[in-house]
Structure 1
């Protein structure tokens, strides 16, 4: 049976439903409130032979890259997080490394392996990374646009609740929508950088030790039941 404070899941689909399912399995009162929607965009497929590796920082890139993704099957994949790695494997790609932190940490590891030419399938809005001397070629294959908050958004955040932020962009939008009156709300971020993007003033503000749903939901579980007492 679910209990404690409501858990607000703001990430776009299909990740939203996946997180809701995991949260419900933990007995949490999870609310699906996606604040963004992802969609494919046109992109040019470069010659795979020009690269030594394929970098994936989001499962959305795998889901929305389209039929051209199959042309990159010969490139070894370096993925951030198990969800992205699993999506790549399901698409027939070969994952050789799964990062447990963020894109920069994975690029640092790739630099230590002397990987010089990296193709990065990413979103139109993306983080800036230091390739550490490597050639990093970002190719945007999807876009993520803000979506209108669900109708019960205002009602839910007016009372104590726990919100999940899966990206810096999401954290900033959550902060903007909530405004300055956030002292009754808790925020769980996927990384310290994402937590910082949300700004200050939250009742609780914590960052996951690893960029995974499991790590975020472990923190959320504690906060939901702490606040619900």
Structure 2
């Protein structure tokens, strides 16, 4: 039997479908309603000798960067979250550190290790971080574009439900589409910054213990059980 209320997954594929599968395996009534679509961008391969390490803050970077990623595979990868680390490893990269909090915490850790030249494989739309004394060079390899509002969205958020917010952009768009009447809805955010981007007025907001799907779904499961 599925746990109610439903869980609404809004992240882009391929991650979105994987999240739905994991949620259903946990007995959650997961519904895939993507608010974004991911696509690769053309990018120029830099000289790996100009950098000391790669920073990856999203699994989409590894999935969508394409075969040219192999040309900078000599650089060690510092990844935010287990999913990003797994995607980087699957792309043939060497992961040396996996951050269990947010991107800024991982950058702070890199700076404390005197890593001076960091190539950030990222999306076109990204947050700003304090690189401390390091040189942080963003290299966009993918874009996440807004998708049309999914069919059935209005009906899904009109009743109690739990929504997942995997990014600040995602949280902001969820909040915009839901509107001010949200006290009957719960939100699970991948980080405190993402929770803040969702604004106030939610019935409940939970922040994942770690920045990964497993922690978000564990939090969502608790919220669903409370609501039953």
TM-score (norm 1): 0.98
- How much does 1:2 deviate? 1.1
The question of 1:102 aligning with 2:67 is answered no
C-alpha separation between the residues in 1 aligned to 2:207 and 2:181? 21
- 1:211 alignment counterpart: 211
Structure 2 CA distance, aligned partners of 1:138 and 1:222? 37
Post-superposition Cα deviations, 1:46-104, rounded to whole Å, max 9, x if no partner, equal 10110000110011111111121000110000000000101111111100000001111
Q: SS state of the match for residue 171, structure 1?
A: helix
Cross-structure match for 2:168: 168
Deviation at 1:205, TM superposition (A): 1.1
> Does residue 70 in structure 1 map to residue 70 in structure 2?
yes
Displacement, 1:193? 0.8
Give the C-alpha shift of residue 42 in structure 1: 1.2
Aligned residues: 228
Q: Deviations over 1:112-139 (max 9, x none)?
A: 1100111111000001011111111100
Distance in 2 separating the partners of 1:22 and 1:145: 24
- For residues 175-229 of structure 1, the C-alpha deviation after alignment (integer angstroms, 9 at most, x for no partner) is 000000101100110011100100000011111121011111111111112112x
SS at match of 2:42: coil
| Gaps in structure 2 of 5+ consecutive residues | none
Q: Structure 2 length as normaliser, TM-score?
A: 0.98
Secondary structure at 2:206 match in 1: strand
1:79 alignment partner in structure 2: 79
Q: Distance in 1 between matches of 2:67 and 2:91?
A: 10
In 2, Cα distance between equivalents of 1:77 and 1:50 = 15
Alignment pair present for 1:8 and 2:8: yes
Q: Distance in 1 between matches of 2:22 and 2:74?
A: 33
Cα root mean square deviation, aligned: 0.7
Task: Name the residue aligned to 1:18.
Answer: 18
* Cα separation, 2, equivalents of 1:208 and 1:73: 30
Q: Which residue in the other structure is 1:139 paired with?
A: 139
Partner of 1:189: 189
For residues 143-158 of structure 1, the aligned pairs below 5 Å read: 143-158=143-158
Which portions of structure 1, spanning 4 or more consecutive aligned residues, are displaced by more than 3 angstroms? none
Residue 149 of structure 1 and its aligned partner are, at CA, apart by 2.0
Gapped runs of 5+ residues in structure 1? none
Where 1:139 maps in the other structure, the secondary structure is: strand
Aligned equivalents of 1:83, 1:213: Cα separation in 2: 7
**Whole-angstrom CA distance in 2 between matches of 1:139 and 1:86:** 20
| Structure 1 residue 3 displacement after superposition | 2.4
